[in-house]
């Protein structure tokens, strides 16, 4: 009888210890997850630097809307910025007269960790694949290649040879195919992502620029600037299945998270395409010449920067009507929405600042002096590699200790069936996720160890 009692106590000690430390780790990780993300803004010069030329990336804490760090870049003009899926690396494409560069920024340290020389070609855009293993840099003018960067080594791979002046690329959600718009060739190149070889050329309209793949990966939408149309490509056959007439000079496109609607930014309107019928179901009047169009994470709102009207148009996706026109700075270019959808960051190039929009009221709640001529902005989640490592180590240690104690008890279980049966419910116990539950478990650990 004494042996069974000791066994029960030993089991309770083990269970409480596991639950206590697990609850603590959950609280720590929850605290990390709830921390505000950061907005990274590319610009030409720091306000507080007297030199005329000092390209950098300003880091804005979205909780306080203050610049908390600046990452200096070398010579060049930042023309594109992208972040990997984990939020650990930022890639900035910079154009220069002699040598163009992609800067790799470690977001934990907010420092440049590598520089990749992509030659003298003028970069157009930069994209990271869904796995975060490759970076693709498109190029304008007479360039006939797409630079490919291996993110594990930060080195160039063999380039993808395409038609001249490739503006934009988009990947299917599985990362198997790349679609690239060739502005001069009036085609969209289809590329095998595994081999980086062109496996097809799809004729589209005149001067294709901008491209988007719907979330399920079955269709690609390509705005044709000089044709005032959007070409719809079936990814199974790589053929155009529909040509949709839209507004004047379409050049940007965005897809809702459910894949049901495509929003096309024209010169002074937005065309709304139903992806089931591939027809325009609404035309929304907006400002003049939009440089960027984004959709909120929940798919309820569209935000469109009106380049010559110093404003951002807000569209309700349920009614496809304008619900607000938010005054911002001059030449709004980059736009990004926080993951929770509560704030929108707008880079105003000519005003040399960033407008912060509260999405609940659709009003500007802060204006941040991010630097001279800001053009690009991306939102990066809060990352703390040290916290993650400590949490992982602690959980790993608990698991190891539990396995040892489980092994020590195995012989006792075989001799005491009643004890094993009595503790069956403990094996299926699910720890609570509340603060009170975590503190209670920690108190239990302290109390039991004292006994």
Q: How many other C-beta atoms can be found within 10 angstroms of the C-beta atom of residue 450?
A: 6
CA 80/CA 92 separation, integer angstroms: 6
Taking the whole predicted model, whether its pTM rises above 0.75 is answered as yes
Return the CA Rg of the chain.
27
Pseudo-torsion of CA 166, 170, 171, 177, nearest 10°? -40
Q: Residue 10 phi/psi, 5° resolution?
A: -65, -40
Task: Please report, for residues 31, 124, 162, 177, the alpha-carbon distance to residue 138 in angstroms, rounded to integers and kept in the order given.
Answer: 39, 5, 10, 16
One digit per residue, pLDDT tens: the chain, 451 residues? 445 555 555 555 555 565 555 555 554 444 444 568 999 999 987 655 555 568 999 999 999 999 999 999 987 889 999 999 999 999 999 988 788 999 999 999 999 999 999 987 788 899 999 999 999 999 887 788 999 999 999 999 999 999 888 889 999 999 999 999 999 999 999 999 999 999 999 999 999 999 999 999 999 999 999 999 999 999 999 999 999 999 999 999 999 999 999 999 999 999 999 999 999 999 999 988 887 899 999 999 999 999 999 999 999 999 999 999 999 999 999 999 999 999 999 999 999 999 999 999 999 999 999 999 999 999 998 544 343 333 333 333 433 443 433 444 344 444 444 333 333 333 333 333 333 333 333 333 343 344 3
Give all strands of the β-sheet with 343-348 in edge-to-edge order.
332-337, 343-348, 353-358, 363-368
Cβ–Cβ under 8 Å, residues 51 and 97: no
**How crowded is the C-beta side of 246, counted as CA atoms within 13 Å?**
37
CA 208/CA 74 separation, integer angstroms: 32
Cβ–Cβ under 8 Å, residues 182 and 142: no
At residue 382, the pLDDT reads: 57
At residue 407, the pLDDT reads: 41
CA 69 to chain centre: 20
CA 353/CA 351 separation, integer angstroms: 6
């Amino acid at each position: 009888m004494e042996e069974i009692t000791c066994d029960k106590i030993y089991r309770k000690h083990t269970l409480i210890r596991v639950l206590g430390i697990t609850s603590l780790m959950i609280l720590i990780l929850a605290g990390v997850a709830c921390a505000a993300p950061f907005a990274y803004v590319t610009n030409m010069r720091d306000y507080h630097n007297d030199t005329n030329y000092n390209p950098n990336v300003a880091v804005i804490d979205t909780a306080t809307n203050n610049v908390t760090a600046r990452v200096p870049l070398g010579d060049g003009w930042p023309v594109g910025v992208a972040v990997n899926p984990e939020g650990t690396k930022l890639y900035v494409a910079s154009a220069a007269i002699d040598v163009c560069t992609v800067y790799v920024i470690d977001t934990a340290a907010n420092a440049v960790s590598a520089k990749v020389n992509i030659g003298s070609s003028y970069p157009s855009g930069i994209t990271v694949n869904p796995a975060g293993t490759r970076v693709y840099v498109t190029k304008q003018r007479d360039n006939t290649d797409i630079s490919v960067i291996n993110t594990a080594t930060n080195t160039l791979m063999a380039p993808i040879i395409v038609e001249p002046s490739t503006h934009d690329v988009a990947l299917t959600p599985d990362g198997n195919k790349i679609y690239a718009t060739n502005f001069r060739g009036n085609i969209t190149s289809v590329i095998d992502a595994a081999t980086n070889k062109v496996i097809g050329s799809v004729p589209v309209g005149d001067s294709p620029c901008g491209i988007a793949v719907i979330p399920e990966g079955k269709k690609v939408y390509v705005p044709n600037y000089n044709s005032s149309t959007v070409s719809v490509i079936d990814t199974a056959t790589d053929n155009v299945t529909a040509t949709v007439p839209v507004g004047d000079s379409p050049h940007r496109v965005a897809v809702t998270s459910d894949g049901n609607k495509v929003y096309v930014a024209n010169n002074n309107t937005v065309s709304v395409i139903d992806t089931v019928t591939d027809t325009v179901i609404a035309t929304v009047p907006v400002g003049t010449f939009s440089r960027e169009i984004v959709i909120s994470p929940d798919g309820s709102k569209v935000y469109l920067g009106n380049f010559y009207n110093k404003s951002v148009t807000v569209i309700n996706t349920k009614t496809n009507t304008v619900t607000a026109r938010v005054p911002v700075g001059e030449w709004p270019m980059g736009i990004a929405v926080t993951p929770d959808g509560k704030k929108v960051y707008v880079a105003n190039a000519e005003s040399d600042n960033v407008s912060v929009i509260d999405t609940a009221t659709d009003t500007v709640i802060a204006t941040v002096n991010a630097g001279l001529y800001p053009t690009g902005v991306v939102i990066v989640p809060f990352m703390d590699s040290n916290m993650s490592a400590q949490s992982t180590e602690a959980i790993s240690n608990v698991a190891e200790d539990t396995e040892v104690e489980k092994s020590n008890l195995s012989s006792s279980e075989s001799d005491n069936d009643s004890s094993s049966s009595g503790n069956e419910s403990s094996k299926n116990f699910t720890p609570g996720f509340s603060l009170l539950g975590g503190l209670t478990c920690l108190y239990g650990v302290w109390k039991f160890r004292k006994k």
